[in-house]
Amino acid sequence: MLLLMPVLLFGAITATYYAEPSLYLQVQPGPYTSDTVIGAKLGFLEVTTDGEEIYSPAWGSTSENILPTLVYGDMRWYDQPSGPFIPLSSHPFHIMSVAYRHGYPGQPTITKVDHPYSPIIDNGPIQVKVSPFRVELYLVNTDSTNRNIKVKSQWPDRPAIHFLEGFVYTFDLLFDPAYSFVVANQKGTKVNEMMNLLGEPNSNGSYVSVGGNTGSNSIPIAPGLNPNTPGMPYGPPQTVIFSVALSDLSTTFDLAEAVGSNRKVVNTMTIIVYNGVVGANYSQEVVFTDTSSGFDDFRLLHEEGGSVTIPFNLFFGGTQVTKGEPIDWDTLQSGSDNIKTIQIGGIDQNAIDSLASGTYSDTISVEIRNP
């Protein structure tokens, strides 16, 4: 029974990591009190127990922190707090861990995330008795663990005033950090006694499952910020607004223009994205339906009534539309007009040759919605 005790106690630990859905730089991030500090909250880890203690918690597999993360964009020179913003500048940022050992909110313990592993409180031995236990991660322009630090305007430091509000900063192409959460199997164990030089636990420590994932690099700490995204703005992002317009309310054409492989342009849709990040792709769903109820396809109806209908195909941006099914327009760009044509085609010539003459019409409805 004594041999099983550490396993049973360890099994009582549950951890979840909550990545920030919207990342942006701000002054005085998290626990930092000085307006010289600029940074972004990446997310937080929440650990709960069944009344047991957490022994010597640590971030594991942090080899990507061997060097600070370089941030690129318009910045003032080191000793010129009132100088011009210089394009293509760079500055090192650091990932800092902020733990609330005695409960959140409360007095924070700030540590720099080092490599290949990093104590969350200190090397210990540490016993955390609070549940839930909260640990936040920030990317900031200083590696100081002093929450009241005042960053100087001199090399190698740049305070917040050296960064351009509203500018979108980009990151080192290698910035895609993923950590693990490790605890000691029993009290009295220091962090360096349970970790090896690869940032993994030895027999004195164990990985904690985080959101169902266990092992090295099991926690992507900033999934919304990687080389495939345009960057991170300085200042809270504005709400993205989509403006939708159709070029025509109605269109009249000869059926022969849409027979077979012919396609007749009957409208043009434009979506303008406001407050978006330049270079980022945005998405909207477009759904087409019409008044020909009882049919799975689109149909023109004789204006004088009757049961005669003319089936046709509808195309949006060159792709055939399935009636009532959403189409993902996921390449919408901010600051530019996004345009696609609406076309009719595929009408059967043999079918219309036997129809009564007259006017056939259809009303097509377009719904735009968030995916």
The number of beta carbons lying within 10 Å of the beta carbon of residue 36 is: 22
Instruction: Indicate the residue type of 107.
Output: Q
Does 84 share its domain with 221? yes
* pLDDT for res 90: 95
Does 250 share its domain with 165? no
CATH number at residue 298: 2.60.40.1090
Full-model pTM: 0.67
CA 42 to CA 44: how far, in whole Å?
A: 7
Q: Which of 4-18, 68-82, 148-162, 207-221 has the lowest mean pLDDT?
A: 4-18
Instruction: Quote the domain boundaries for residue 141.
Output: 5-233
Are 292 and 324 in contact by the 8 Å Cβ rule? The answer is: no
- Say if residue 7's pLDDT is above 60: no
Does 133 share its domain with 274? no
Greater pLDDT, 11 or 126: 126
The residue out of 183, 205, 233 marking a domain boundary is: 233
| Residue 70 tokens, joined | 């370089």
Average pLDDT over residues 134-158: 96
CA 40 to CA 119: how far, in whole Å?
A: 21
What percentage of the chain has pLDDT greater than the value 70? 94
CA 79 to CA 152: how far, in whole Å?
A: 9
Are 243 and 274 in contact by the 8 Å Cβ rule? The answer is: yes
Does 165 share its domain with 269? no
The residue out of 217, 233, 249 marking a domain boundary is: 233
Does 156 share its domain with 247? no
Model confidence pLDDT, tens digit, residues 253-275: 999 999 999 999 999 999 999 88
| Residue 178 tokens, joined | 């993923």
- Say if residue 318's pLDDT is above 60: yes
Does 336 share its domain with 189? no
CA angle 135, 137, 139 (to 5 degrees): 160
The number of beta carbons lying within 10 Å of the beta carbon of residue 155 is: 9
Domain count of the fold of the chain: 2
Indicate the pLDDT class of residue 224, thresholds 50, 70 and 90: low
* pLDDT for res 225: 65
The distance from CA 110 to its chain's CA centroid, rounded to whole angstroms, is 25
The residue out of 187, 213, 233 marking a domain boundary is: 233
Please give the backbone phi and psi of residue 296, each rounded to the nearest 5 degrees, phi first: -80, -15
